[in-house]
Amino acid sequence: MVSAGRSLRAAVCGFAPTRRLAVWIAGLAAVWLVSAGAAGFAIATACTAALVLAVVLDIALLPAAHDLEVRRSLPTTVGVGETIDGEYAVQSRWGRTLVVSVHDVITSTFLASSRPPASLAISPHGVSTTALRAEGRARGLAVLGDVALLVRTPLALVARTLRYSPGDEIIVAPSLAGIRRFRWLAVHERLAAAGVRDARRRGAGRSFARLRDYVVGDDPRHIDWKATARRGHPISREFTVEQSQTLYVMVDAGRSMTQLAGSFPRFEYALSSALVLADVAGRAGDRVGAMVFDDKLRVLVPAQRGLDGLRSLRAALVTVQPSLVEPDYAAAFRALALRQRKRALVVLLTDVIDARAARTMLAHLSRGASRHLAVVVALRNDALLGAAVASRDTASVDALYRNAAAEELLAERATALQRMRDAGIVVLDVAPDAMAAAVVSQYLELKARGAI
């Protein structure tokens, strides 16, 4: 009995009067106010009965939940700060025309919707769609909520609310826009358009580079006879030297990486750049691994080759978050030494400010210089630069102290980076939003020079 009572209340509460019904009721009230005598009473009674009958008929013409089906289509993955487009598809098994409003407020820690509810006209046994747009806010697994349909008939006196639970999930990963952009540019040999230099090392490799005029001394086997026939003079094929190396990307997840650079923490830019670099290197045939650390090892993805390795890397970086602790560079480099004994390119994405931490980093990088080629990508702090160059003429006492402190920190940072360069370490000092292009450019330059 209790269950039946709840079902009845749910069914009744699912119906709601519309604005049109309110207007009709207001008009009926006016009829009752002006009705006088038996004739007026009869007219008002007839109008009331007609309205009640229309409401009952409207309710009877409304479908139940099983008469409709709603599907929410969205990509399974979105990057932080990126927008994805999808759609709702509402299919009717009802034999009458319906007007349906779709309500779906996607609000969670990870995802946000930016499209208002939409009204759809659905023909009998028809299907109608409406657009959906969502934006990734933070990395993680976003479990999408229910979808509510507000259903009306053409009479539109009563509306019925139907709820559905599609059970959709979306993975909010590090930004993927850079990956797609650099992959396209690399394929079309247009990396220079993004400020990336692509120096080729030409030789007797097997990877085709380009066609050029034949010169004395070229291997006759490399003559392209079709191109020769078209151009009327000998044309030779040129090849690039194939090189396959191991790349390890180390990402600092310590305290300084939690600071905002625009709308997102600096850590997000580092993860996005790591994925861009891993994608470019993986598609170039290199083995790619990754490590994320703060005061302990947070993520370790062994070096792998191919698309499976890239998928493993991206999946491992989805949930990791920076913490308010100092990074332990010594432990991170010890873990790297245990797992990568052969020579590799090690790219460290960090924020070098603290002099003590920089000395520790330099010691371990110098110790491993004989085994690995290290690249340190130091994130530039624009807020710190702004504080250091602020005018002292009109500044308050507090502003003067901030100015002096910023200048001291920047001086320590510059000294630390110069010591790394003097030790033979490749150092990139870049802003967060320029990191991806700089890292890919440096990787391609080192690979083309055969420096690894």
Predicted confidence (pLDDT) per residue in 11-48, tens digit = 445 788 999 999 999 998 888 888 878 888 888 899 99
Confidence of residue 204 (pLDDT cuts 50, 70, 90): very low
Share of residues in the chain with pLDDT > 70 (%):
81
For residue 76, what are the CA distances in angstroms to 219, 227, 323?
50, 45, 27
CA 412/CA 426 separation, integer angstroms: 18
Q: Residue for token digits 């030494």? A: 337
Please give the radius of gyration of the chain, using alpha carbons only, rounded to the nearest integer.
33
* Per-residue buried b or exposed e for 355-371, using 16+ beta carbons within 10 Å of the residue's own CB: eebbebbbebbeebeee
Confidence of residue 9 (pLDDT cuts 50, 70, 90): very low
> Where exactly are the structural domains of the chain?
2-60, 65-173, 246-449
Look at residue 395 in the predicted model and tell me its pLDDT.
58
Supply the pTM of this predicted model: 0.68
CATH 2.40.30.110 assigned to domain 246-449? The reply is no
Residues 174-186 have a mean pLDDT of 61
Fold of 65-173: Immunoglobulin-like (2.60.40)
pLDDT digits (tens, 9 = 90+) for 129-143: 988 888 888 888 888
Dihedral of CA 390/394/400/404: which sign? Answer: positive
Instruction: Return phi, psi of residue 433, to 5°.
Output: -75, -10
Tell which phi-psi region holds residue 390, choosing left (phi > 0), alpha (psi between -120 and 50) or beta. beta
Strand segments, DSSP code E, in 380-430 are 426-430
Is 346's pLDDT higher than 50?
yes
Confidence of residue 369 (pLDDT cuts 50, 70, 90): low
Q: Where is 383: in which H helix or E strand?
A: helix 382-388
Look at residue 108 in the predicted model and tell me its pLDDT.
66
Which two structure tokens, joined as six digits, stand for 332? 């991170």
Note whether 29 and 21 are within 8 A (CB): no
Note whether 378 and 430 are within 8 A (CB): yes
Contacts of 10 by beta carbon, 8 Å cutoff, 6+ apart: none
